[in-house]
Amino acid sequence: MAHAHTHKVKRYSGIKDWLTTVDHKKIGILYLIAGGFFFLVGGLEALLIRIQLWKPMNDFVSADTFNELLTMHGTTMIFLAAMPMLFALMNAVVPLQIGARDVAFPFVNSLGFWTFLFGGILLNVSWFAGGAPDAGWTAYAPLAGTTYSGDHGVDYYVLGLQIAGIGTLIGGINFLVTIINMRAPGMTFMRMPLFTWTAFITSALILFAFPALAVGLAALMFDRLFDGNFFDPSGGGNAVLWEHIFWIFGHPEVYILILPAFGVISEVISTFSRKRLFGYSSMVFATILIGFLGFMVWAHHMFTTGLGPVANALFSIATMLIAVPTGIKIFNWLFTMWGGSIKFTTANLFAVGFIPTFVMGGVTGVMLAAAPADFQYHDSYFVVAHFHYVIVGGLILGIFAGLHYWWPKMFGRVLNETLGKLTFWTFFIGFHLTFFIQHFLGLLGMPRRIWTYLDGLGFNEMNMISTIGAVLMGFGTIFFLLNIVTTSFKPKNASGDPWEDGRTLEWTIPSPPPEYNFAQTPLVRGYDAYWKEKMEGHSGMTPAEPIGPIHMPSPSILPFFMGLGLFIAGIGFMYAQDWGNLFDGFKLGYAIGIAGLLILFLCMFLRSVYDDHGFHIEEEEILRDKGGKA
């Protein structure tokens, strides 16, 4: 502590630590808890939907409730479960994989989490405030306008997603800057692990796609809250415009979701095949190409809108083109496994199960891309089956693979393999049981988004099977939770490289890593940096610097209050029309809304004027850590 520039070390513990942390590893865990919670909520909604549909003319829930369940299931799963769980993995792993001590903007990282969480909570408050959004997760106009959705349901959708979207957008920017600027010496772009690459491309997609959503939601907000008229044809607006804006965001969004899953699968398959990833550079190229093409295909969601044959043909071809880079990836994974000494750990089971499942989703994708055929499939259960194959069979299996793979790195404990395999088989079989049959339901003509169906249409047995599958998926999730709980009582004894075949930098440091990650920044000498050192007989990485004091950012409570401010502002503006006047001519709701924004601006002001230089972790402490762990 003899350094002249030592600042007072700020460290909190307990709940205060979690509210103020700017450590990417802890923020990753926060994302995982929040995303996992919303995953359970969305899963519960899915189960209720399946219970309603398990027999014809069922009256388990009312039609209104069914619409709410359906809308909230989609919205929750995409925005509040899948995205944050990806951010959880990205936060936990990307800085470690590039040999960085933190992300580029730790404060912004924490702000991204809290705005996401408050947006998600706002969206779900709607359940207790007189009705959740019920216009579908796409919120098509004019259905989502005040004429057809008069209550506050869709307001919650608009404001909740807007606030959560801010969090996602700044999270994406943070990872772009981190990956460009914070790589360890020698970690060139073409030496980056594939998960980092996919996180990079996904962040770029977030950067370009989320503003479109923000614009669309802002316009819809003006329509709904301030009597604007962007999307209502009866007043000169344009309903198709909403479809364009939504899908200009919405299509890249599905690639935002799936690309990191591709990254996870690449890491897991390569590690457990004990082989270098086959065709690394073509994988990188395919990722970039998918990212780019993802922006040029949005109108394939609108084939039946009536854009005309030229537009339909163009988007048809562009969509089919995406199958090429995706096919490259599939074959690369197969060739990686070919001749490898494969270990079927739980993580690898999920990864191997991912491949055929995702291929099936991809094939139905190409079928749907054929515009004339799409007129038959459109709005049927075939589409439901397709997108659940790519999102659950792709993304969720990828997330499960990633969680089992990186769990020891995040928490210092290896998940139980028996329970893990039980999770995989129940979830995997349940998944195929639920959704495979839905292809045929769709081809038989069962429309999506209906709350019940008549007897004698030939839908009965298939719906029953689908519901049984959904229950199995529920059991799979329960086994996973059970695994987490039982593992958390075990001693924290995972080694730095618990799979023993770790290839990338995150396995060179203790599990869980110290808050500064790397006592000495490693020198990267090639792709699969750690594997390379192992093969040359070294026990660890060559350090790129001597041990010295490490500069750390200070924790801050401001991001929490910024999220809270946005939450209060959202509630206030939403209910301004209902809550009456505070005093003559000034609505109470507006006062609350403005108060919320003032909290936000006050926090921004404090952050701007109060210079916090962070603190240093001194050599003594780093050496003590090293001694204790080694």
Partner 1 sequence: MASNHTATEENAKRHKVEGPKKHIIAFIFSILLTFIAFATVISGEINKDFIYIILIGLAILQVFVQMAFWMHMKDRGHTFAIIGILTGVFIASTCVIMAEYWAWW
* Binding positions for partner 1, rule: CB under 8 A: 5, 100-106, 176, 180, 182, 204, 207-208, 212, 238, 240-241, 244-245, 248, 295-296, 298-299, 307-308, 311, 516, 545, 548-553, 614, 616
Q: How far apart are CA 42 and CA 44, in angstroms?
A: 5
Work out how close the CB of 279 gets to partner 1 at its nearest, in angstroms, rounded to a whole number: 24
Tokens matching residue 372: 């004339």
Q: CB-wise, 164 or 299, nearer to partner 1?
A: 299
Work out how close the CB of 102 gets to partner 1 at its nearest, in angstroms, rounded to a whole number: 4
Q: CB-wise, 56 or 548, nearer to partner 1?
A: 548
Q: How far apart are CA 624 and CA 604, in angstroms?
A: 38
Q: CB-wise, 22 or 422, nearer to partner 1?
A: 22
Work out how close the CB of 307 gets to partner 1 at its nearest, in angstroms, rounded to a whole number: 5
Q: CB-wise, 138 or 238, nearer to partner 1?
A: 238
Q: Which of 211, 212, 237 is nearest to 224 (CA)?
A: 237
Q: CB-wise, 218 or 591, nearer to partner 1?
A: 218
Work out how close the CB of 133 gets to partner 1 at its nearest, in angstroms, rounded to a whole number: 24
Integer angstrom CA distances of residue 303 from 371, 448, 450: 6, 17, 21
Q: How does DSSP assign 433-483, residue by residue?
A: HHHHHHHHHHHHTPBTT-S---TTSS-HHHHHHHHHHHHHHHHHHHHHHHH
Q: How far apart are CA 280 and CA 188, in angstroms?
A: 14
Work out how close the CB of 230 gets to partner 1 at its nearest, in angstroms, rounded to a whole number: 11
Work out how close the CB of 242 gets to partner 1 at its nearest, in angstroms, rounded to a whole number: 9
- Are the beta carbons of 254 and 392 closer than 8 angstroms? no
Work out how close the CB of 238 gets to partner 1 at its nearest, in angstroms, rounded to a whole number: 5
Amino acid making up residue 378: H
Work out how close the CB of 583 gets to partner 1 at its nearest, in angstroms, rounded to a whole number: 38
Q: CB-wise, 369 or 396, nearer to partner 1?
A: 369
Collect contacts of 128-134 with beta carbons under 8 A, ≥24 apart: 129/156, 131/64, 131/68, 132/68, 132/71, 132/72, 132/156, 133/68, 133/71, 133/72, 133/75, 133/157, 134/64, 134/67, 134/68, 134/70, 134/71
What is the bridge-based pairing of β-strands 581-583 and 586-587? Answer: antiparallel
Q: CB-wise, 316 or 434, nearer to partner 1?
A: 316
Q: How far apart are CA 424 and CA 116, in angstroms?
A: 29
Work out how close the CB of 614 gets to partner 1 at its nearest, in angstroms, rounded to a whole number: 7
Work out how close the CB of 308 gets to partner 1 at its nearest, in angstroms, rounded to a whole number: 8
3-state SS string over 116-155? HHHHHHHHHHHHHCCCCCCCCCCCCCCCCCCCCCCCCHHH
Q: How far apart are CA 379 and CA 401, in angstroms?
A: 31
User: How many residues belong to the chain?
Assistant: 630
Q: CB-wise, 356 or 543, nearer to partner 1?
A: 543
Q: CB-wise, 279 or 548, nearer to partner 1?
A: 548
Q: CB-wise, 191 or 244, nearer to partner 1?
A: 244
Q: How far apart are CA 30 and CA 27, in angstroms?
A: 5
Q: What are phi and psi of 552, to 5 degrees?
A: -125, 150
